[in-house]
Amino acid sequence: MDSSLFIALIIPTLSGIFSAALFLLARHQADRVVERAAWSYAGFAIGMSLQYFEPFGFELSRFLSNAIFLGSMVLLSTALMARHGRRAPLGAMCAITAISLTVLAAGLVGEPNLALRVAAASLGFAAVSALLAYKLWRAGAQTLVDRLLLGSVAFISAGSVIRPAVIYLLQGGLGTEQLFFQSLYWLSLVLSAVFFLSVIALTLISSASLDTIEALRTEAGTDMLSGVLNRRGFEQGAIRLIRKAERQGQPVSLVLADLDHFKQVNDHFGHACGDAAIRQFAACLAARAGADAVVGRMGGEEFAILASGTTAQAGRLMAEGMRMGLSVCELDFMPAGRRLTASFGVAQRVPSDTLASLIDRADQALYAAKAAGRDRVRVSAEAEEERDGDEVAAPLRAGHRH
């Protein structure tokens, strides 16, 4: 195989592979970021193929090649900016592209001017890339993926200006039209494009894959009815919160909440109303728990809230707010004036507590609240004894919760 053909096929082949991979990944993504990137890589493959094979003749093929390549870069820019929830500056990028293509067309009219075309294409690509790099920098490079993307875009932007200038100075020119695909400029273009396209594609694929894994992990730990964590998700989140609180020397309190007479809601008003009650109860708890708290559905109508930086008394006040908030809510499925109520048990973690023992103590306090008549809050006896003297939760009674 001719070496120039082999080199010319590197970028179309690589871009085509990455485009196919991104299209496959896009099928599992909710947004259009990866799909846009996939289309841009397909454009890179087509654009670079037109450079070498010239199916529409020299002038038109070269013009279309650069137009598609610059257009693909603009499309890729929209995808990279969309990762940050921002819009790419399409107006400025399209203006840069139009100017670049106009100058490039002038280098194709009459006697072909290779230096003019290289300058037009390189500076146009550099300007679009520099604008993208600036916008990415303003958006904030918080993760490793973001920093890699920003660095590679900045690198290719600078390289698009420096590389042809250095080659021109070293060789006294960029070569001839006849030997263009054997020139040092073409080889350096291919190598820099391979680096750029590989870094961008691999970081996008890695980022999208991690997002998919995180979404699956979140789904596995989420209760579909209530929207809060399920028991497994709650326990995992609670362990992380407890460890963090231990490092920071912060108190941790657990609130267990249980809807009163929930079976009657299902029996009298139907399971649709029961489901609505679960969702409303969960929303009430989550709204008052705070952003740092872990909220989960432990099963049935029982929920748990673990809050860092919260003593037993602060946990009691939080539970009282939840209880009162629930009491003023109405359900569409229930008659006017009919309200939901709930009972709450609160326990503050002591150094000897495991998560299981903390849940057990909060559960005992919840039993006490149920036994005392429901629609109230009780605090674990251990937490009360440590504070020397506030109201003590009733002891756990034999039998089943009513």
Per DSSP, the three-state class of 333 is coil
pLDDT tens by residue, 363-377:
999 999 999 999 999
One DSSP character per residue, 270-316 reads -HHHHHHHHHHHHHHHHHHH-TTSEEEEEETTEEEEEEET--HHHHH
CATH number of 231-386: 3.30.70.270
235, 301, 302, 384: the catalytic one is 301
CA angle, corner 220, sides to 217 and 222, nearest 5? 105
pLDDT tens by residue, 300-339:
999 999 999 999 999 999 999 999 988 777 666 666 667 8
Q: Which residues contact 265 (CB under 8 A, 6 or more apart)?
A: 259, 273, 274, 277, 334, 340
Tens-of-pLDDT digits for all 402 residues of the chain?
567 888 889 999 999 999 999 999 888 776 688 999 999 999 999 999 999 899 999 999 999 999 999 999 999 999 999 988 899 999 999 999 999 999 999 999 888 899 999 999 999 999 999 999 999 999 987 788 888 889 999 999 999 999 999 998 988 888 788 888 888 899 999 999 999 999 999 988 888 887 777 777 777 889 989 999 999 999 999 999 999 999 999 999 999 999 999 988 888 888 888 898 899 899 889 988 988 899 999 999 999 999 999 999 999 999 999 999 887 776 666 666 678 899 999 999 999 999 999 999 999 999 999 999 999 999 997 655 444 444 433 333 333 343
What is the CB neighbour count within 10 angstroms for residue 309?
14
Q: In the structure encoding, which two tokens stand for residue 14, read together?
A: 């690589």
pLDDT tens by residue, 147-169:
888 999 999 999 999 999 999 89
The domains of the chain are located at 3-220, 231-386
Q: Are 153 and 142 in contact (CB under 8 A)?
A: no
* CA diameter of the chain: 100
Is residue 246 among the annotated active site residues? Answer: no
Q: In the structure encoding, which two tokens stand for residue 7, read together?
A: 């080199």
Identity of the residue numbered 52: Y
0.85 surpassed by pTM? no
Q: Quick one: fold of 3-220?
A: Rhopdopsin 7-helix transmembrane proteins (1.20.1070)
